[in-house]
Amino acid sequence: MLQAIDKSLREAGLSYRVVPAELVVELRHRIDELLGWGSLSGSLYKAYASSLEWDGPAKLPVARSLIVIAGPAPTYAAIFHAGQRRVRAIIPPTYVSSSFRALCRRLLEEVLVPAGFGVERPRLPVKLLAVRAGLGEYGRNDLCYVADMGSFARLESFVTDADLVGGSGDTSTVAVDGGRRASQIRMSRCAECDKCVVACPTRCIPSDGSLVDAERCLTYFNENEGAWGDRLAPDAHNSLVGCMRCQQICPVNRPYLREPEIIAEFDEMETAMILDHPSLDQLPESLREKLADFDLDGYSGVLGRNLRALMG
């Protein structure tokens, strides 16, 4: 089965690692360590903790193997029309993700389900999992960098009751793809580079190599409702959601920078509705479906505010 999974994922242009499901215990221990040291914001973790499944998905009571997958993630853009203005709004990698998730699930199910095994998607800190599994490394900006993709990589994780790692119980080494030991946490190139530190519009990336102050990151502001107040300079805004500054300036990403692909265009009426109606249920069904097609429906409460900032 492992050879069949390897062939299927590689033919689709994806990279992956397989590790024992017991690695989840180590991931949780690492999170607890960061909380204990004060390196991870307790309030931020509390806000996201309810979405994590440390005990695994209920639909798959017996978990034996974790599969973490990375695929190239381009930068997209949406066009909005407001009066005589045509505004191009960047959508960073990873936000348009449902089609990639569906592809990964389908490729795994085609191998595992006929053999009598289940596949589910656990809710885990996928960047931490990918780094610990040896699939990627952290940059100074705390994004996950994957070989031949840079930080323009979309990550997904799945769990199965199939034993794909031989039952060794050893979580220190990945099971396939070279068996690389995941000892490199931060990219070595980051040691002599501070371009992302200088480029960060909110100065949330420490120069000493410690964790990014996530609650000061523009991505955090852009994903959460509420007034910005005077915390953000007018020229800080660069994306419809999230932020691209540290990825665009990173030397490691230089080979992967591409002109954003236009995936959606909103006419003047649709743009006006997004600007004026922050709640998803206030939008007509056709517009809700259009946002959902590009995985933006979950950010409907901030799109209008963020778009106004981009428009100046």
Instruction: Give the pLDDT score at 175.
Output: 42
Residue that the structure tokens 């974790």 belong to: 66
Inform me whether the pLDDT recorded for 171 exceeds 60. no
Measure the CA–CA gap between 107 and 99, rounded to whole angstroms. Answer: 12
305 confidence band (pLDDT: 50, 70, 90): very high
Partners of 186 in the β-ladder: 138
Hey, is 21 helix, strand or coil?
Answer: coil
Domain count, the chain: 1
Inform me whether the pLDDT recorded for 109 exceeds 90. yes
Measure the CA–CA gap between 163 and 196, rounded to whole angstroms. Answer: 41
Instruction: Give the pLDDT score at 185.
Output: 76
> Both tokens of residue 312?
């100046």
Instruction: Give the pLDDT score at 227.
Output: 81
Instruction: Give the pLDDT score at 113.
Output: 97
Residue partners of 5: CB distance under 8 A and separation at least 6 = 16, 18, 67, 107, 108, 111, 112, 164
**pTM beyond cutoff 0.75:** yes
Residue ranges making up the domain that contains 64: 2-311
Inform me whether the pLDDT recorded for 118 exceeds 70. yes
pLDDT digits (tens, 9 = 90+) for 20-63: 999 999 898 888 888 888 878 888 888 777 778 888 787 888 89
